[in-house]
Amino acid sequence: MKKLIAYSCFFLLILSSCSTSARLAKANQTFEEGAYSKAVKSYRKLLSKTSKMSPYDADLMRFRLGESYRITGKYKEAQTAYETMFRRRTPQIDEVYLRYGQVLIANGQYDKAKEQLLLYKKYVPDNLLTDSLLAAADWAKDNVQKMVAYTVQPVEALRSRNSDYAPAYASSDYEILYLTSARKAGNRSSKTYDVTGETTGDLFVSSFTRRGAWSKPTPVSEILNSKYEDGACAFNSAYNQIYFTRCIKERREKLGCAIYTSTRENEEWSEPQKLAIAGDSITVAHPSVSEDDLTLYFVSDLPGGYGGMDIWKVTRGSESDTWGEPILGRALTPEAKRCTLSFVLMVLYILLPTVIPASADWIFLKLHPTATGGRWSMQARLSTRRPMIFR
Secondary structure class of 31 (helix, strand, coil) = helix
Residue 118 CA, chain-centre distance (Å), reads: 25
Least confident interval from 32-41, 56-65, 370-379: 370-379
Tell whether the model's pLDDT for residue 143 goes beyond 70: yes
User: Residue ranges of the domains in the chain?
Assistant: 23-143, 156-337
Helix axes of 95-106 and 128-143: crossing angle, nearest 10 degrees:
20
Is residue 164 very low, low, confident or very high in pLDDT (cuts 50, 70, 90)? confident
Question: What was the pLDDT predicted at 18?
Answer: 58
pLDDT tens-digit map of 174-193: 899 999 988 876 545 566 76
User: What gap in Å lies between CA 71 and CA 283, rounded to an integer?
Assistant: 14
pTM of the model: 0.71
Tell whether the model's pLDDT for residue 12 goes beyond 70: no
Question: What was the pLDDT predicted at 136?
Answer: 83
Least confident interval from 22-36, 156-170, 247-261, 272-286: 247-261
Pairing of strands 327-328, 340-344: unpaired
CATH superfamily, domain 23-143, is Tetratricopeptide repeat domain (1.25.40.10)
pLDDT tens-digit map of 110-130: 999 999 999 999 999 988 788
User: What gap in Å lies between CA 12 and CA 315, rounded to an integer?
Assistant: 62
Scored b (16 or more CB within 10 A) or e, 139-161 reads ebbeeeeeeeeeeeeebeebeee
CATH 2.120.10.30 fits 156-337, yes or no: yes
